Amino acid sequence: MISTTVDTLPKLMLRNAEQYGARPAMREKDRGIWQTHTWTQYRDQVRDLALGLAALGFRRGDRLSVIGDNRPRLYWAQVAAQCLGGVSVPAYQDSIAKELAYVWNHAEVSVIIAEDQEQVDKVVALKAELPMVRLVVYDDPRGMLTYRHEWLKSYTEVQELGREYGRQHPAFFAEEIARGRRDDVANICYTSGTTGNPKGAMLTHANAIAFAETFMREEDVRLSDDYLAYLPMAWAGDAVYTLFSSLAAAFTVNCPESPETVQRDLRELGPTTLLAPPRIWENMLTGVLVRAADASPLKRWIFERSRAVAERVEILRADGKPVPLGLRLGYALGDFFVYGPVRDQLGLRRTRWALTGGAPLGPDTFRFFRGFGINLKQVYGSTETTGLVSLQPDREANPDSAGRPCRGIEVRIADKGEVLVRGAGIFKGYYRNDEATREVVDHDGWYRTGDAGFIDPRGHLVIIDRAKDVGTLSEGTPFAPQFIENKLKFSPYIREAVAFGHDRAFVTAMIAIDLSTVGNWAERRGLAYTSYADLSQKPEIRGLLRDEIAKCNATLPDATKIRRFLLLSKDLDADDAEITRTRKVRRRFVAEKYAAVVDAFYSGKAEVAMTTTITYEDGRQGTIQSRVHLEDVEGSPAHA
């Protein structure tokens, strides 16, 4: 347990520097070489930056934003702000201009720490729209030589100011940290905004430490752990598992060289623990299946036989049933020839446990990784619950549940099936939005998650879907679109899917193909194409996807089988507001944008004209006009 006197994140940092000073706190891969920073160096880096910010006018209650890829200096900047009683506001590095302007203005950010020239250019383009921003600090100096703005400084320049300020005020840093209180806001994490503008969830130091204590009580977290920080810093999952947990447990955080080298760096590092949202696991699975499909006939046969054995073993284990001797022998052979090499290729050879969260993971994908010997488990939480409500124990991992509610966290199911949560991790409220806070947190402290679920006989929390998305077909069969979409995304050829069916006679789906895997499939067959739109509308590709949907239908009840589908001429894109930055479908917006498609599905049309608006990074918009084919999967459906 964490001492009651250590009640803020900066105080945890000081504790770590004192107790674990020479141990590695962070590593960063730079130009192919891992650079290590100890806890003593971590504290010194934070101190110099914090004092530099203080010298430049940063005060208690001010907001500091970071934008860029996962870099030690961007994490240190967040802690530096907290040392001064300020608040960190991480932003998504791939956000378009209007999204950044909204977050920075709404949060009243005064200081922005940018990774490099690319991120600085975004601020420069928006500066006239950011009246509160008075200082921008860049980390990487490459390309910055000709930039001349009085409000722009380098990271090293600010730290040098901090060292001078520290010489003049030797007690200032320690005194500012001592002034910090557990109820002070540490982070403002903006939600994914599935129904409109994102809301700024205020997480206090008490929330952060309560999360860390609960997580360390429920999971095997060790001082010697290596964790890979590669998820967007603006996602609450990165804040709680990378920043909060590492400060509480003092394990080592490793930052990859770039987003493009994550898979290579993952294999090289071999982290002992890992957190990844469903999209990452789906991408990993796609890579494995594509490599297997490209293998020789003998290797492909061995892979498929071993995969079938792994799935049967995992189902028996999940059901608590004994595994027959013959199957155990088959599994041992599979581990030697297939599972072990796959784990090694994925970089998960040392991983004791891996978590998936942020959205449900499809059961087929979940069983695949579990069957291949990866201790993958589901965790459930949200930004407003500081990332944790329930977690699966090692021996109770199951694709159908989100695990047991953690000790100290209360879970209740409301009359209409909505999951309610109460505990020390419940956020302080939405920044500058008291009305929205009152809508989700009642006077007794219960937070309304918006998710529909129930507690199963084992005491596990089961999440069905977002409460507002759960519906019924016209004849009364329950319809949970996310369940069907996750089934579809088990196919390596499907990147995104949106299912429709509420109040309709049958289920339909819009499919966004995976350009890489479908493109490889086409190239192996000599099928030429010029673009995503051209490839997606070829008859051969429609036939490929029809077969993939038929495989999915074989695992679904008759009433919820997909009867018609359409291949989109572009991928769903966060810049176009079709999905969030964490790749959750914005269903209301998609239903409105593609209303003509939905009508065509249920009126029996064979094709439909589409005019699709696309948004560029600078906010400019263009359109794509196309005619797309609608396909029947299993005969001609009865039209609604």
The CATH number linked to 55 is 3.40.50.12780
Q: pLDDT confidence of 619, banded at 50, 70, 90?
A: low
Give the confidence band of 617 by pLDDT, cuts at 50, 70, 90. low
Percent of the chain predicted with pLDDT > 70: 97
Lowest mean pLDDT among 149-158, 265-274, 360-369: 360-369
pLDDT surpasses 90 at 341: yes
- pLDDT value at position 636? 39
Residues 287 and 139 in one domain: no
Residues whose CB is less than 8 angstroms from the CB of residue 121 and which lie 6 or more positions away in sequence, other chains included: none
pLDDT of residue 196: 64
CB 584 within 8 A of CB 195: no
Q: Do both 497 and 618 map to the same domain?
A: yes
Domain total of the chain: 4
Instruction: Provide the pLDDT for residue 639.
Output: 37
pLDDT at 638: 41
152 and 83 housed in the same domain:
yes
Query: Which whole number is the average pLDDT over 202-210?
Result: 98
| pLDDT at residue 613 is higher than 80 | no
**Percent of the chain predicted with pLDDT > 90:** 78
Mean pLDDT check: name the lowest of 240-254, 263-277, 346-360, 620-634.
Answer: 620-634
Last residue of a domain, one of 423, 450, 467: 467
| Residue 586 to residue 590: CA distance in whole angstroms | 6
Residue 639 lies in a domain: no
Confidence of residue 358 (pLDDT cuts 50, 70, 90): confident
Rounded to an integer, the average pLDDT of 392-420 is: 93
Is the predicted pLDDT of residue 376 greater than 50, yes or no?
Answer: yes
Residues 371 and 386 in one domain: no
Q: Residue 294: how many CB atoms within 10 A of its CB?
A: 11
Tell me how far apart the alpha carbons of residues 236 and 354 are, in angstroms, rounded to a whole number.
Answer: 17
Say how far apart CA 638 and CA 640 lie, in whole Å.
Answer: 6
On whether residue 3 sits in a domain, the answer given is: no
How far is Cα 193 from Cα 187, in angstroms, rounded to an integer? 17
Same domain, 541 and 578: yes
Same domain, residue pair 567 and 627:
yes
Average pLDDT score, the chain? 93
Q: Is residue 194 part of a domain?
A: yes
> Is the residue at 39 inside a domain?
yes
Once rounded to an integer, what is the mean pLDDT over residues 453-478? 89
pLDDT of 640: 37
- Residue ending a domain, among 361, 378, 395, is 378
Is a pLDDT exceeding 50 seen at residue 587?
Answer: yes
Both 340 and 424 in one domain: the answer is no
Residue 1 lies in a domain: no
User: Do residue 110 and residue 213 come from a single domain?
Assistant: yes
Judgement on whether residues 487 and 613 belong to the same structural domain of the protein: yes
Which residues in 271-375 belong to E strands, given as ranges? 273-276, 353-356
Q: Does residue 238 sit in the same domain as residue 363?
A: no
pLDDT at 51: 98
Decide which of 338, 355, 378 is a domain's last residue: 378
225 and 328, same domain (yes or no): no
